């Protein structure tokens, strides 16, 4: 019997791949990171929480924009990789803390901004994590959520969740935009501006980052090969398995 908790699953999946996520081209650049940097520059002396920091790219962008940053993640290996890369970049305003998104070890109203990017689809309880983000955020603070999202169409949603889980067993859910708006509202936020993009997942590097075993890779390719026209066209599935994902950045304020 597999008795690993979800948290242990996440740590096991990402801990040994920390360096790959620091180096990942998909994670290291993008208009969403540019937007995050611009938002942080608009908050002089900002204290920022990078929630589920992963390879630390949000923390690096925020620190470069003048903020003091707490990079927070479940994986010690990820945090160690962030510290090493911050040192290489000469960024000395980044500290790290370990823990889960659902239980933040910070007093209320600590941060001017809470930022999270490409992490929430691994969280077991997103509503609880958003409630915690609201608690530690100042009343005039800013929450920025950036993540892969699913289409509203159930056919497209089912395909995406299936290939994501085959690639990475720590995957929980890519939420629809409508689900994000509802969860943000329920946690006490007013969702505001939304920026959408469609990053291309180059198949070989996409599976390499997760060290996806061969049988699961074959299952993903089989699902792609058997996909109906609507799925093939929406995701722009290529001959080598590469495809497009939907990503959004949502800016929200506490009510």
Of residues 221, 149, 213, 153, the one with CA closest to residue 181: 149
Of residues 144, 142, 68, 72, the one with CA closest to residue 103: 72
Q: Which two tokens stand for residue 217?
A: 């890779």
- What pLDDT score does 30 carry? 80
Q: For residues 148 and 54, give the distance between their C-alpha atoms in angstroms, rounded to a whole number.
A: 15
- What pLDDT score does 250 carry? 98
- Candidate from 20-34, 140-154, 188-202 with smallest mean pLDDT: 20-34
Contacts (Cβ under 8 Å, ≥6 apart) of 219: 166
Confidence at 6, pLDDT banded by 50, 70, 90? low
DSSP state at residue 43? S
* Residue range 135-180, pLDDT digits in tens: 999 999 999 999 999 999 999 999 999 999 999 999 999 999 999 9
Mean pLDDT of the 83-111 span: 96
- Domain 6-150+169-198+246-254: give its CATH superfamily: Vaccinia Virus protein VP39 (3.40.50.150)
Q: Is 126 exposed, middle or buried (0-12, 13-18, 19+ CB in 10 A)?
A: buried
Is residue 212 predicted with pLDDT exceeding 50?
Answer: yes
* 137-149, strands of its sheet edge to edge: 94-98, 68-73, 47-51, 111-117, 137-149, 246-254, 189-197
């Amino acid at each position: 019997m597999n008795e690993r908790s979800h948290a242990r699953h996440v740590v096991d999946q990402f801990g040994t791949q920390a360096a790959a996520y620091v180096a990942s081209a998909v994670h290291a650049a993008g208009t969403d990171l540019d937007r995050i940097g611009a938002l942080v520059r608009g908050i002089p002396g900002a204290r920022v929480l990078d929630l589920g920091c992963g390879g630390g790219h949000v923390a690096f962008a925020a620190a470069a924009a003048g903020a003091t940053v707490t990079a927070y993640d479940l994986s010690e290996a990820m945090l160690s990789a962030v510290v090493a890369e911050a040192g290489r970049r000469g960024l000395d305003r980044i500290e790290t803390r370990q823990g889960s998104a659902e239980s933040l070890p910070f007093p209320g109203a600590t941060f001017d901004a809470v930022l999270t990017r490409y992490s929430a689809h691994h969280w077991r309880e997103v509503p609880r994590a958003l409630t915690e983000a609201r608690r530690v955020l100042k009343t005039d603070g800013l929450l920025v959520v950036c993540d892969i999202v699913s289409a509203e169409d159930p056919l497209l949603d089912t395909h995406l969740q299936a290939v994501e889980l085959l690639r990475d067993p720590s995957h929980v859910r890519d939420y629809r935009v409508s689900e994000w708006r509802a969860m943000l509202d329920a946690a006490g936020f007013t969702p505001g501006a939304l920026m959408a993009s469609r990053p291309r997942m180059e198949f070989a590097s996409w599976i390499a980052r997760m060290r996806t075993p061969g049988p699961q890779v074959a299952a993903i390719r089989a699902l792609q090969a058997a996909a109906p026209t609507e799925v093939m066209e929406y995701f722009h599935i290529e001959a080598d398995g590469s495809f497009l994902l939907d990503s959004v950045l949502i800016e929200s304020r506490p009510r």
